[in-house]
Every structure is written in structure tokens, then in C-alpha cells.
Structure 1
């Protein structure tokens, strides 16, 4: 006596389609969960980095009597930086001052009048750099000036929020030179009032993004433009100079 096995019933297409949809939904939910967690972690790390950055800036202080330096470099971005650098120079801090990144249309005469500095100070001890287009350009322009004069200790005058990136770029361009920070402060970052100031908050966030990208670039060894006006135009870089035209 033989026993015949009944053939299996065919799986209905509707059931197969439903199972596939359920699997896709599970994968989608799992992927969405991973993306959400990753985004939350990334935002948390960025926030921690930002507040660590602001804490670092808040701790920067301009000493009343800077240590002995060879010269001063002021990175343009506001006359307050230049005023401070000129005041230090007139007090006998350093032998010379480089004002880096000045617009080519701004003459030495106009700059002196705008700052109210003594003519004798400009005549003897101030060099104006017209080549730098950005912070990398400031560093490269300063490096050329340092090599020309054989300096080894430089006082850097710029805004406090700009100082970390400036020191990093300057050290990259001139690794054998000691750079000393002399920050110009606009906002007191030790209080929380700056968090309610949209201009200060936006400035700090933009600078933190630039600083983070600069660190990533240096870590990766990526090449970048020199930031010099002459290189951008395919011309020979012009040395920092005095101009009274």
C-alpha cells in the first residue's frame, strides 16, 4: 500500500508581497534609528566642541607687559587690532610691526590717520602687508617677513575668537618661530550674556566651523591655496612694505 504526499499549496503572491513590505519596514526603521542616533551624537559632540572652543577663548588674556619679543604682527579685521598693536609698539614692545592683510587701496597715510599713530612710529618701524587674502595668507605673508628679518619671537595681535586659528596657521607656516597671543576682546565670554547676542553667537559659530575645518585639513595633510593675492593672480608676491601714496 503506497502513501502519496500531497503537494504543498502554492504561496499566494499577496502574502509574499506583505512579508517583503514588513521586512523593508523593519530595515527602514532600523536604518532611521541608526541615522537618528548618529545625528544626535554628532550634534552633541559639535556642541561640546563649540563650548570647549569658547572656554578656550575666554581664558585668553592680553598680559599687561608682554614678554620680550622681536616684533609684533597685527592681523587686519578691524582698526582696534591695529590701534592696540601700535600702542604696544610705541611702548617699546618689539622692534617692528607688520600689519598683515591690508587692502591694496589703503595707503600708509590713510592708515596712520585712521589710527592716530605718530608719523615717526610709522616712518621707522611699521611695515604694511598687502598680500594676504585670508588667515592662511596672513600666516604666509608673516612667514616671509619673519624670514627676511630673522625674527624668532612674535607677538600676535588679533581678536580673541580669531586667535586659535591664527596661531595654528602661523605655526604651520613658521614652525621654528614662537608666537605669543595678545588677544583683543569684544565680548566677555566668561558670562552667558553672549549667548543672547545673535551677532556674537553667529561670529563664534562661524569661527568655530573655520577652526574645525582648518584642524581637519592639517590633520589630513590636504593641500590648500597660499591665501596670497599675488598667487591668486599668478603674479610674484610683493614683500610687506610701507606706502604713503
Structure 2
């Protein structure tokens, strides 16, 4: 009886030890992943001269919309799609707020009202891109938001060539993020959302493969 009791205690101890090791390892990898994520955020714009069929802007800051309008004005895309716009906002109003001439750009700007998150942005943009028959786009969003945006967009439209075009909000101290609690919290939040999106997309792909 005593021998059985000791064996049971030993098994419990080994199980707890193994569980603790797995938990500590997982936490270490999670922290390592966060530092990788934070230090690998885009800090410059690549492929600046590459012309694409479309320019897609994700709402969230005036700098994003102005960047998209600049790209459209410079002929970097045939049309501009702004995803995640509030209901009731019209193209003319948006151009006026951005101090642009509606007569020059109104024909080439399309607003999307359905999206309320990044995944929704990708789905809404995919529908529009397919309707237009386009095969490439330049994606405009904040640098800290770009990894998750690319993840969602490439999952939603794997056959479309996507060029990232990050913008760099002044309030986000990307270079020295660990010195700024607000920037660190923002980047940490994006990292968690990025991981969750990865897991969800992986699960959906696995389910699709099993069904198929």
C-alpha cells in the first residue's frame, strides 16, 4: 500500500514537473516571438516604384488615407479602395477632409463600409478586387499593423500579388518601443492578435483540407 502511494506521488510529481517545463518553455518562446515581432516591423517602404492595379487603404488614421491618395495621384494604381469607412461618409466628403479636389480623384476612389476589423478588411477588399479583375495591389496601413494585415490579406487572396506600403504614425515610437509604455502596449496587442489570426487561419485551412 505504501509502495503504491509513493509511486502515485512520484507520478504526480513527474507530471507537474513536465507541465511546468512545458509552461516555462512556451512562455520563453512567446516572449522570444514578441521580441522578434517588435524588431521585425517594417521601418521603410520597399518597391516604391512598383505600379499595381489597385491601392488598398485600411482606415485608422488620416496619414493612411493621405498616403493612398498621394499614390493614386502619382499613378501608382488604377483605383483606390478604402476599407472600413464609417457608414454615411461619401467620397466627396473624404476628399474634402483630405484637402483634395473631388473633380480630380472622385472617379477612381471606392469606399468600403462593411469591414469592422482586419479580417473584415481583407474579405471586403477581396470582393472588390475580384469584381475589378485585378491581380495586384499595394496595401497601405500603419507599420505596426502591417504583419497582421498581410497575414489576413494573403490568406484571403493567395493569388493576388500584394506590396506592403507601411506608414509611420508619429505617436508610435517604433524604434525605441521598450522605452515608451504606450508603444510597447500597442505592439504587444498587435503581436497577440497576429498569433490568434495565425492560429485561426491555420485551423480553417486544416478544416478545409479535411473536408476537401
TM category (shorter chain) comes to 0.7 to 0.9
Q: Does 1:101 align with 2:84?
A: yes
Q: Which residue pairs with 2:109 in the alignment?
A: 126
Q: Does 1:35 align with 2:14?
A: no
Question: Highest relative contact order (Cα 8 Å, sep 6+), 1 or 2?
Answer: 1
Task: Structure 1: give runs of 5+ residues left out of the alignment.
Answer: 1-15, 224-245
What is the count of residue pairs matched by the alignment? 205
TM-score by length of 2: 0.85
Q: Write the distance in 1 (CA, Å) between the matches of 2:147 and 2:121.
A: 14
1:195-210 correspondence runs (5 A): 195-210=178-193
Q: Which residue pairs with 2:195 in the alignment?
A: 212
Deviations 1:67-111 (A, max 9, x none): 121120001111211111111111221111000110103333332
1:32-71 correspondence runs (5 A): 32-58=16-42, 60-63=43-46, 65-71=48-54
Q: Which residue pairs with 2:118 in the alignment?
A: 135
Q: Write the distance in 1 (CA, Å) between the matches of 2:9 and 2:155.
A: 51
Q: Which residue pairs with 2:149 in the alignment?
A: 166
Q: Pick the structure with greater CA Rg.
A: 1
Q: Write the distance in 2 (CA, Å) between the matches of 1:49 and 1:121.
A: 45
Q: Write the distance in 2 (CA, Å) between the matches of 1:182 and 1:143.
A: 18
Q: Structure 1 80/19 Cα, relative in aligned 2: closer, same or farther at 3 Å?
A: same
Larger deviation, residues 118-127 vs 36-45: 118-127
Q: Write the distance in 1 (CA, Å) between the matches of 2:97 and 2:16.
A: 57
User: Per-residue deviation at 1:220?
Assistant: 2.0
Q: Write the distance in 1 (CA, Å) between the matches of 2:191 and 2:104.
A: 36
1:74-113 correspondence runs (5 A): 74-113=57-96
Task: Structure 2: give runs of 5+ residues left out of the alignment.
Answer: 207-212
User: Per-residue deviation at 1:18?
Assistant: 11
More helix by share: 2
User: Per-residue deviation at 1:133?
Assistant: 1.7
**Correspondent of 1:115 among 98, 114, 132:** 98
User: Per-residue deviation at 1:147?
Assistant: 1.4
TM-score by length of 1: 0.74
